[in-house]
């Protein structure tokens, strides 16, 4: 299939593995003082500073499961693949400094396509001040696979885990949620229209925010810095990759607490609300279960409320309760509904589609 | 296809991603003091010791490119996937302490199969005293993909790069080479026999060493410790994953030197030699180009010769020369032949097959 589209282009197999890695990484600059040696040896070498711990996280994105190249531009894909990993480092209240990138691609993939992917990776590295220090490039018998590992650091006393939430702590979320999932629904709908009528010109303007949230999410490094500036250390934190329901359950489960989340407090974008109406989708359900927003969900002591009150990036959506009270959503009608995990589950994704 | 074989078994999709990770990792114990937090949060947390650097390396294995499940037992595959990464850390003269494991599998894969894979990973972790601290489990639309990142540490002054070889240094290789590649040829031949006559019983006994080198390679942690004990610090080092030719070229290229490798000195196992004769393959060519031995190739100052002389694990195969002399093999007939990279190239693997 792809061959027809790439007539006259140079396939990656002509460069070979080492040639390709060299070619793709030659424009990446090392900026972090902790990077002693990047790409080019058996392993990268990182310097350590006294009093700091190292954070390490990894995520794999699979074509046909996590992304669809028919509407995901390769540059955006490269960018997003980095973001989802950095987000996990920020969710520990740490700073990300290095990544490694491994990709498996068909050897008939044109070099220009891999260059696009790496252009997105490079943009993310520059935006978030992260060094690319290693990786692996191999051939795939089918689709594109991207596996990224991110490394960060934080002083031991600053690291925030999922298990520190205490009764009466406030539950806070950054930005707004649900838009990334809805953006995916918009793109899926346009794809179906296109398959029926390839001449149809999609008008994505009314959904621009939603589509951008899906195709070019950001990691909330700014929120980690904001909290530091405000003198607030969360008692627990997680990033919203699988949906608010799933993430608040992780915090409550690991902290051995319950919570009350108030439906009316959940931050939603106006475009999200109007598009939910158009798609006849229940906004709260989507906001609770839709994933990939990469916002931060965290808890803070109630004494810190004044420090964050009124901040446009942060919304208090509820509070932690005793474990015996359970994990609940308080609806607009003041009904109490247990929160169950309905997050985006990759392992059953094929069957859901 | 796979469904027919797994009647009545539980597919992984029933457990879901979080359930599966918990299930697979529950028997792994944390043993390293540097592991502050393993699996179960947004990122793993590692302690750092003053004066040490962190080593970081990653490798991805793809079904149909790097392994064939028709003769690679899943337990061996899990073991080998860890080994190839640890080998890269040892090749920096460092000790490996943690790994993360990401896998993409069909959601119809039975849990028993994934358990087998993780049993191999666990065995490798125990053998090499390494902690599993994180990872990702996702579905694949086609074959099995395994991406592993290994983390190690070494004192800054102990780290050995590829670029430190100097003229007159001795070139040393651990163990023997070529056997892993030849083991793969044996397995490929048996597979073809089986496809023609499924009732044929393969007799692998005469090839037991070769097959074991392919299916259950070891990483030379012992050689790193041996050299430390002997008071020898290599001037450059690399592990032999892509073949001796390819690796010596990396060292010479990065160290900006030439070398002379003597054909008669290359360490070969008797089973390797006899099977090369049976297969009508030229032993030196296979030894130079066959990959996956995971032996260490390194250079040492000539003054250290007495320290390693006679050691059964180490063989001096040549010496470093001025860059103007080129990278050469001196044959048994005393002819000088330039060494060119003919290592195992994953990006053109599909076309070579």
Name the band, by pLDDT with cuts 50, 70 and 90, for residue B343. low
Residue A9 pLDDT more than 70? no
Give the tokens for residue B20: 């599966």
- CB spacing of A92 vs B139 below 8 angstroms: no
**Which pLDDT does position B31 carry in this prediction?**
94
Q: What is the pLDDT of residues A161-179, one digit of tens each?
A: 999 999 999 999 999 999 9
- Which chain A positions have a beta carbon within 8 Å of B159's beta carbon? 45
Residue B109 pLDDT more than 90? no
Backbone dihedral region for residue B209 (phi beyond 0: left; psi -120 to 50: alpha; all else: beta)? alpha
The second-level CATH assignment, the architecture, of A170-352 is Alpha-Beta Complex (3.90)
- CB spacing of A56 vs B44 below 8 angstroms: yes
- Which chain A positions have a beta carbon within 8 Å of B58's beta carbon? 100, 102, 134-136, 147, 149
- Partners of A29 in the beta sheet? none
Q: Which of residues 195-214 of A touch B (CB under 8 A)?
A: none
* Arithmetic mean of pLDDT over chain B: 91
Tell me, yes or no, if A113 comes closer than 8 A to chain B by beta carbon. Answer: no
- Which chain A positions have a beta carbon within 8 Å of B63's beta carbon? 141
**Which pLDDT does position B178 carry in this prediction?**
97
Just give the CATH number of B2-158. Answer: 3.30.1330.10
- CB spacing of A43 vs B88 below 8 angstroms: yes
User: d(Cα B249, Cα B323) in Å, to the nearest integer?
Assistant: 12
User: d(Cα A277, Cα A282) in Å, to the nearest integer?
Assistant: 8
Helix (H), strand (E) at residue B25: helix B16-25
**Which pLDDT does position B110 carry in this prediction?**
87
Residue A8 pLDDT more than 60? no
Residue A7 pLDDT more than 90? no
Mean pLDDT over B92-111 rounds to 92
The more confidently predicted of residues B323 and A346 is B323
**Which pLDDT does position B1 carry in this prediction?**
31
* Arithmetic mean of pLDDT over chain A: 91
- Which chain B positions have a beta carbon within 8 Å of A348's beta carbon? 13, 16, 107, 139
- CB spacing of B161 vs A349 below 8 angstroms: no
Residue extent(s) of CATH 3.30.1330.10 domains in chain A:
2-158
Helix (H), strand (E) at residue A132: strand A131-139
- Which chain B positions have a beta carbon within 8 Å of A136's beta carbon? 58-60, 147
CB contact at 8 A, A67 and A217? no
Give the tokens for residue B227: 């050299």
Q: Which among B76, B68, B72, B78 is positioned nearest to B102, based on CA atoms?
A: B78
Backbone dihedral region for residue B337 (phi beyond 0: left; psi -120 to 50: alpha; all else: beta)? beta
Q: What is the pLDDT of residues A64-73, one digit of tens each?
A: 999 999 889 9
**Which pLDDT does position A2 carry in this prediction?**
36
Sign, CA dihedral A292-A1-A20-B298, equals positive
The more confidently predicted of residues B139 and B263 is B263
Residue A346 pLDDT more than 50? no
Helix (H), strand (E) at residue A228: helix A221-230
Mean pLDDT over B282-297 rounds to 96
Three-class DSSP category at B84: helix
Share of chain B above pLDDT 70, in %: 92
Q: What is the pLDDT of residues A265-323, one digit of tens each?
A: 999 999 999 999 999 999 999 999 999 999 999 999 999 999 999 999 999 999 999 99
User: d(Cα B228, Cα B240) in Å, to the nearest integer?
Assistant: 20
The more confidently predicted of residues A147 and B203 is A147
Tell me, yes or no, if B150 comes closer than 8 A to chain A by beta carbon. Answer: yes
Share of chain A above pLDDT 90, in %: 77
Residue B204 pLDDT more than 80? yes
- Which chain A positions have a beta carbon within 8 Å of B12's beta carbon? 347
Name the band, by pLDDT with cuts 50, 70 and 90, for residue A184. very high
Name the band, by pLDDT with cuts 50, 70 and 90, for residue B107. confident
Name the band, by pLDDT with cuts 50, 70 and 90, for residue B9. low
Q: What is the pLDDT of residues B121-178, one digit of tens each?
A: 999 999 999 999 999 889 888 789 999 999 999 999 999 999 999 999 999 999 999 9
Q: Which among A52, A146, A57, A157 is positioned nearest to A98, based on CA atoms?
A: A57
CB contact at 8 A, A339 and A288? yes
Least confident of B49-58, B289-298, B334-343: B334-343
Burial track B295-326 (b if 16+ CB lie within 10 A, e otherwise): bbbbbbeeebeeebeeeebbbbbbbbbeeeee
Name the band, by pLDDT with cuts 50, 70 and 90, for residue A141. confident
Name the band, by pLDDT with cuts 50, 70 and 90, for residue B262. very high
- The closest CB to that of A50, out of B50, B135, B348, belongs to B50
- CB spacing of A134 vs B102 below 8 angstroms: no
Label the pairing between strands A258-262 and A314-321.
Answer: antiparallel
Residue extent(s) of CATH 3.90.650.10 domains in chain A:
170-352
**Which pLDDT does position B45 carry in this prediction?**
95
**Which pLDDT does position B277 carry in this prediction?**
97
Least confident of A204-208, B44-48, B191-195, B246-250: B191-195
**Which pLDDT does position A345 carry in this prediction?**
47
- CB spacing of A238 vs B42 below 8 angstroms: yes
pTM of the model as a whole = 0.91
Tell me, yes or no, if A64 comes closer than 8 A to chain B by beta carbon. Answer: yes
Mean pLDDT over B27-41 rounds to 93
**Which pLDDT does position A353 carry in this prediction?**
27
Name the band, by pLDDT with cuts 50, 70 and 90, for residue A202. confident
Q: How many CB pairs under 8 A join A and B?
A: 256
Mean pLDDT over B100-120 rounds to 91
**Which pLDDT does position A343 carry in this prediction?**
54
Give the tokens for residue B51: 């004066």
Burial track B228-250 (b if 16+ CB lie within 10 A, e otherwise): eeeebbbbbbbbbbbbbbbbbbb
Residue A1 pLDDT more than 60? no
Tell me, yes or no, if A180 comes closer than 8 A to chain B by beta carbon. Answer: no
Label the pairing between strands B327-330 and B336-338.
Answer: antiparallel
């Amino acid at each position: 299939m792809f061959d027809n589209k790439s007539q006259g282009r140079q396939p990656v197999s002509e460069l070979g593995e080492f040639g390709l890695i060299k070619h793709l990484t030659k424009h990446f600059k090392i900026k972090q003082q902790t990077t002693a040696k990047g790409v080019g040896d058996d392993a990268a070498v990182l310097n350590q500073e006294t009093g700091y711990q190292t954070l390490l996280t990894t995520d794999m994105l699979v074509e046909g499961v996590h992304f669809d190249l028919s509407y995901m531009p390769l540059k955006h894909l490269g960018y997003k693949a980095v973001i989802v990993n950095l987000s996990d480092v920020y969710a520990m209240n740490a700073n990300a400094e290095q990544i490694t990138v491994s990709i498996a691609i068909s050897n008939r993939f044109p070099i220009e396509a891999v260059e696009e992917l790496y252009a997105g990776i490079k943009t993310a590295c520059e935006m978030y001040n992260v060094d690319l220090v290693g990786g692996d490039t191999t051939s795939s018998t089918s689709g594109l696979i991207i596996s990224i590992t991110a490394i960060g650091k934080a002083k031991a006393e600053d690291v925030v885990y999922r298990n520190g939430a205490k009764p009466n702590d406030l539950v806070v979320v950054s930005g707004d949620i649900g838009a990334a999932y809805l953006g995916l629904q918009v793109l899926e709908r346009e794809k179906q229209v296109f398959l029926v009528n390839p001449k149809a010109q999609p008008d994505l303007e009314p959904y621009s925010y939603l589509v951008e949230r899906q195709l070019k999410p950001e990691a909330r490094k700014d929120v980690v810095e904001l909290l530091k500036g405000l003198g607030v250390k969360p008692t627990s934190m997680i990033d919203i990759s699988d949906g608010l329901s799933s993430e608040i359950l992780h915090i409550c489960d690991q902290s051995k607490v319950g919570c009350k989340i108030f439906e009316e407090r959940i931050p939603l974008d106006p475009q999200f609300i109007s598009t939910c109406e158009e798609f006849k989708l229940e906004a709260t359900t989507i906001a609770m279960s839709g994933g990939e927003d990469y916002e931060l969900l965290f808890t803070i002591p109630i004494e810190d409320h004044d420090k964050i009150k009124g901040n446009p990036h942060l919304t208090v959506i509820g509070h932690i309760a005793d474990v015996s009270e359970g994990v609940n959503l308080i609806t607009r009608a003041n009904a109490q509904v247990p929160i169950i995990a309905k997050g985006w589950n990759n392992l059953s994704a094929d069957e859901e589609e």
